[in-house]
Each structure stands twice: as C-alpha cells, then as structure tokens.
Amino acid sequence: MRYRVLGCFGGEAPRHHLSSFLLDETLLIDAGSVTGVLEIPEQAQIEAVLLTHTHLDHVRGLAHLADNVFGQRDRPIIVHSIEPVLEALKGSLLNNVLWPNFTEIPSSRMPILDFRPLPEGRPTPLCHFRVTPIRLSHSVISVGYFVEGDFGTLLHLGDTGPTEAVWKAAKDIANLRAVMIGTTFPNRLQRLADVSGHLTPQALKAELAKARVKATVYAYHLKPQYAAEIIDELKKDVPGCQILEQGKEYRFAPVA
C-alpha cells in the first residue's frame, strides 16, 4: 500500500500544507491541501474520501476538488465519514452560501460528490481496503480510521485530545503496522492543547501507553510555528516516534 503525504501540518504557511493523505492514488484521507498539491488528472482519479472531522484545515480542499473534477469523471467521488460529520459538512460548507452544494450538482441523481455515512465501530469495504471509524475526543465530532489490507492495519487518527475507545480497539489488532496521530502543540502549551482537543508530546506519550502500541508511530499536524520545538520534545518524550514528511510516499508491503 502506498501512503502519500500531500500535507501534514496543523496550520498553513509557505511550504507547510494542510492535512491530506492519498492511499494508492484512489482513497483520500482528509482534504486540506489536495487541490494545491495534486494535478487535476490526479484529482480525477480519486474514488473516495474519508473525512475525520469538519474543521476547515481538513475539509477545505473538498470544495475545490468538486469544482476541479466537474466534467472529468463519469461517476461521483464518494465522501465518507460517520453521519454527524457529513451532516455538519452539508450544513456548514456545501450549503449554497459558503459554497455550492455539489451533492446536487449537476443533479441529485448524478452529483459530483456523493455523501455516504459509515457505521461506527464496524468495518466497511472501501476501494480495496476495509475501513472502521472510531470516535475520538476533539472540540467537534472527530474520528480515527483503522484501514485494513493485505499489508496489515494502519490507524490514522483525526484531531484528538486524550481519548479511550480507539486504544481499546487497537489492543485487539495483531497486525497493526503504523499509527498516524496529531501532535499539535509543544508541552508548554498543554492547557491550550487540552481546551482545543489536541495533543502535545507528553500527552502523546500517555496516549500510546494506554494500548502499549508496538507499531511505528508517525506524528503529524504540527503547528508550523512550533514544529521545531515539538520535534525536539518528541525525541525526548516518545523515543522512536517518526515525523510524517510532507511530499513523501510511505510503502507498506503485504504481510507474509
């Protein structure tokens, strides 16, 4: 499986793109920077989008993606999340005020975007994966996804503060290969992290201890202005933690 990092930062600045990840060229996780990185023919190859939550840095590119692929595809791009996330997105973004409702353009029978909810805590076949959403703890409803394939299982978390259900579920995954998790603020801003539903390096250490995670841990969603400080603290607090690199493609080989 190919996991391409289009953007991985918790804020936008020159050379720092918002969260967006492309799996095997067809499945997109979050859409913060998709249209600023992919060429339009690449955008048109996307078959499905998994959204973790509705905050703008994770969904902004969905509006422009719909605009760009109009006339480039003969079927809708399927947008997935749990139902409350999709309903909030329709009401707040694709509401014909902030942006056109592309779930009804050019028609409700054949729209550019087709919203389909996923059941919480249950796997659903999607592209050539199986995807299970687990609710997290953030300032708005947010989910993480277990993504299963012949490579094993990858856990991609949306924005979260301290949480429980996802770690309980992770304990039962024997072939967990990688965990992608946001680490947004440095330790000195722990209070800000707590009230906004994010993690610091010291809080990440406590989270990983809940499941005794043995998979490779990749931190992302660093605020650009604090990135160097966060990276230094991760080296001390979470030895072995990797930092997702913007523009890099990670490959997960099939499990023998």
pTM (whole model) above 0.85 = yes
10-residue mean pLDDT series, the chain (256 residues): 98 97 98 98 98 97 97 96 97 94 93 97 96 98 98 97 97 94 98 98 97 94 98 97 98 90
Read off the CATH number of the domain in which 127 is found.
3.60.15.10
**pLDDT for position 112:** 96
> Which residue carries 């209070």 as its tokens?
191
The pLDDT assigned to 186 comes to 98
**Four-CA torsion 250, 85, 211, 219, nearest 10 degrees:** 40
Domain assignment of residue 118, yes or no: yes
Spell out a b/e string for 138-158, using b for 16 or more CB atoms within 10 Å of the CB, else e: beebbbbbbbbbebbbbbbbb
pLDDT of residue 255: 83
Contacts of 188 (CB under 8 A, 6+ apart): none
Tell me which residue range forms the domain holding 60: 2-251
Q: Would residue 256 count as lying in a domain?
A: no
Residue 66 to residue 93: CA distance in whole angstroms:
12
Predicted pLDDT of residue 97: 96
Paired tokens of 3: 């996991």
The reported pLDDT for the residue numbered 174 is 85
Tally of CB atoms within 10 A around 124:
14
Total domains in the chain come to 1
Per-residue HEC secondary structure of the chain comes to: CEEEEEECECCCECCECECEEEECCCEEEEECCHHHHCCHHHHHCCCEEECCCCCHHHHHHHHHHHHHHCCCCCCCEEEEECHHHHHHHHHHCCCCCCCCCCCCCCCCCCCCEEEEECCCCCCEEECCEEEEEEECCCCCCCEEEEEEECCEEEEEECCCCCCCHHHHHHCCCCCEEEEEEECCCCHHHHHHHHHHCCCCHHHHHHHHHHHCCCCEEEEECECHHHHHHHHHHHHHHCCCCEECCCCCEEECCCCC
Residue 19 lies in a domain: yes
